[in-house]
Structures are given as structure tokens and as C-alpha cells.
Amino acid sequence: MSDHSEAPPYILVVDDDELLNGLFCQFLLTKGFETLTAHSLVGAVELFKTGIAVDLILLDYQLPDGNGLELLDMMSLDPVAQHPPIIMISAKEDPVFLENCFSRGVADYIIKPVNLSLLALKVSALIKSVALQRVISVQNAELERFKKEAEREESVAKFTYEYLLRQNSRKIDGVSMWLKSSSSFSGDITLAKISPGGDLFFLLADATGHGLSAAITVMPVVSIFNTMVEKGFDLQAIVTEINKKLIRDTPQDRFVAAILIQTHQEQKKIDVWNGGMPTAYWVDEGEVLQAFTSRHMALGILDESMFDASVITCNFSGKGIIIAYSDGLIEEVNAQGSSFSSARMANLVRARVSNLHTFLITSLKEYTGRDQYRDDVSICMLELDKIFASCGKQLKDRPPRQWLP
């Protein structure tokens, strides 16, 4: 095909009748096309071998060295593959013959004696179709390039994101976190860290939307949580700061629902702040000791004057587990379109099973009949006795402070 979209289309006229060939060329020139001439199949093939770009072939069926259909074979053109469209010229009108022409890849057909006006219309229509195909093919190539570029950028961003998560969360005995992403990036995030004072800080957050945009929104949450826990701030200061940062640095329609938990090692109490997350449960032996319902709006919505950092405080009795999860869990649907639901969760957490965390994950899979979900789904379990033991051990093993004179 012609390389220059601005240049007039090139048409190759293959006809052994020099007079007729010249007439076609002259007529097509008057219609704004450029023409090339061949008088035999061999001549046409030779022309193609020079690499010349042709937009359409006007081909006489009866040629001295064979019939027009043989040109397809001689040029080794696959009738299905893209090649210049061919208009066959012949006096034959036999339907079987015509069918054969079209099945071999001929685009159109014109009967002798040739009606020049009809020829001009057919040539124009095919040239337009070729131009359109060319545009589509360019756009497809462009789309493919964008797609590859996006994939490359996403893989770099994913690496950075996962590195950030690895750096900011530690495996702590008694904390089980299960997260299933609906895309490469998760809008859900779970973090657990023990403070210098031996308190466990746990966070489960769910950012607006899914994928990269959701993941970007939770990134500031990760760094603030990590830094402030390390510096010994309490839960209320941490949620206040995260809220402030999200209000300042993220678009108005972006926010992060979150539940944060602090276990106080020395005072033996638990603080919980729940903003926009489903009810978390503190359960023991099938009994719900406390339900931590959402009392606040998600982080990143209310400005400082309206933001409420108050927490629910419970005394730790030395037993039980806390189950926290994202709304992706209760909104997942089964084959009948019924959601897993918060009511089902309220019942399931009362189950007397050896491992409630595994039980809930399995229950979701059995209910939906799938292990890939529409939304990001997280289920976390905090085993309080183990956590208090872990925190106590860390406090005991901590190197003594070095006082400088």
C-alpha cells in the first residue's frame, strides 16, 4: 500500500489489451488516482517485486499467461490476509465463477463491457475502505503501544507499592491478615506494628475504588502509620494526622475507610477507631464480647473542625479474638446474586471452630463458588492472648536505652 496518506492512491491496471488498459488509466487519472500498468500476470508480479506500493488492483480475468485468479497464487497472497483489494474484470457472469472469485479474495467484480461510471464508484468505495482500514490499523498499533506503556508503568508502580508495604509491616505472632485483590493493585491494605512502648497497632484500610488509583490513595496512610507508631503516638493522634494528610493531598472524591486498633500492653485495654468499615467483632468461644461498629466517616472526608478521633475503649480480659474485614467481603455475591452480607458475617463469627480466620475465608469461597472476587476482599484476625505475649516479649527483648552524657 501507498506509504503516503496525503498522496493520491495508486491503482495497478493489469490488462493485455493496450487500448483498454490505456483507457482505464486515463479515466482513473481524471478521477484523481495515480496508475501503474501491467499487461500480463508475470508483468504484474515483476512490478510487485520492485516493492512498489499499490492501493488497489484492477485485474482482467483473461490474460495471455493465465487467468486473473492465478495472480493471487503467483504473488503468494493469502486470500484472507490483508493485500490490495482486487477488482476483477471479465465478461463471465456465471454465478459459480463469481463465487469462486470472491472466495479467493477478490473484493469486487465488474462485467465487460465496462461501465466507467460504475468502475469509478467501485474504485472510490474500495479506496475509502482501504484508507479506513489503514486508520484502524494505525490506531490499533497506537493502542497496543499505550497498553504496553501502561503495563510497564504499572509493573514499576506495583514493585514500589509492594516494597513500601513490606517495609512497613512486620509479621507478628497472633496477627493473621488475608487479602485478595481484584486487580494488580489492592485498594485494601493491612498493617501491623508494635510501638516502642510495646503496644500493637493494627490498621485495615479500604480506599475509594480499585486498582492503582486506590493504591495511590492508601500510600500516605502507610507512611504516616509507620512513622507515628515508631514515634510512640497514640491511635487518636494517628487517625487525626492521616485524615489531615488525605484531606490536603488527595482529590475530594477520594477517601479511605479504615479500622485502627491499639492494644495497650501495660494498661491491658484495647482502643478501636472505625471509620466507614464494616462492624468488627471481638469474639470468644462463639460469644460476641464487643461489636465495633463504624461510628465515623472514612478518613479524608471531614476537615479538622468536624473530624472525630474518639475511640471505643475496652478492658482486655485476656481472651478472645478480633475479626475485622473490608466491605468487599459482605458485598460479594453468589450465583443467585445474593450478597454474602453483614448478617451472615454476624452469625459466622459466632462459630466455634479451631481457626475462625480460615473458616471465614473458606465460607466465602464456598458461598460464592469462586476464589476471584469483584472487589478487594480482606479478612484479618487478631488473637489477643498471642498479641499481648508477642508485645510483652518485644518489650522485654528491647535493648536498654543508651543515655548519652
Residues engaged in binding another protein (CB under 8 A):
187, 206-209, 252-255, 257, 275-278, 294-298, 301-302, 327, 331, 339, 342, 375
Please report how close the Cβ of residue 294 comes to another protein at its closest, in angstroms.
6
Quickly count helices (H) and strands (E) in the chain: 11, 17
Is the separation of the CB atoms in 179 and 165 below 8 Å?
no
CA distance 218 to 168: 13
Which ranges constitute the DSSP H helices of 169-308? Answer: 211-230, 235-249
Residue 87 or 218 with smaller CB distance to another protein: 218
Residue 122 or 254 with smaller CB distance to another protein: 254
Write the CB contacts of 361 (distance below 8 Å, at least 6 apart in sequence): 178, 379
Residue 108 or 331 with smaller CB distance to another protein: 331
Residue 198 or 220 with smaller CB distance to another protein: 220
Please report how close the Cβ of residue 213 comes to another protein at its closest, in angstroms.
9
Please report how close the Cβ of residue 281 comes to another protein at its closest, in angstroms.
15
Please report how close the Cβ of residue 244 comes to another protein at its closest, in angstroms.
16
Query: Closest Cα to residue 292, out of 346, 240, 333?
Result: 346
Please report how close the Cβ of residue 334 comes to another protein at its closest, in angstroms.
15
Please report how close the Cβ of residue 324 comes to another protein at its closest, in angstroms.
14
Residue 27 or 340 with smaller CB distance to another protein: 340
CA distance 205 to 218: 8
Please report how close the Cβ of residue 161 comes to another protein at its closest, in angstroms.
19
Please report how close the Cβ of residue 297 comes to another protein at its closest, in angstroms.
5
Query: Closest Cα to residue 374, out of 324, 325, 328?
Result: 328
Residue 213 or 358 with smaller CB distance to another protein: 213
Residue 174 or 278 with smaller CB distance to another protein: 278
Write the CB contacts of 203 (distance below 8 Å, at least 6 apart in sequence): 189, 190, 191, 192, 221, 225, 258, 259, 260, 261
Residues in the chain: 405
Write the CB contacts of 243 (distance below 8 Å, at least 6 apart in sequence): 299, 300, 302, 304, 307, 309
Residue 179 or 302 with smaller CB distance to another protein: 302
Return the half-sphere exposure (C-beta side, CA atoms, 13 A cut-off) of residue 348.
Answer: 24
Which ranges constitute the DSSP H helices of 105-210? Answer: 116-168
CA distance 329 to 376: 8
Residue 81 or 306 with smaller CB distance to another protein: 306
Please report how close the Cβ of residue 223 comes to another protein at its closest, in angstroms.
22
Measured CA distances, 243 to 105, 210, 211, 391 (Å):
65, 20, 21, 27
Is the separation of the CB atoms in 79 and 105 below 8 Å?
yes
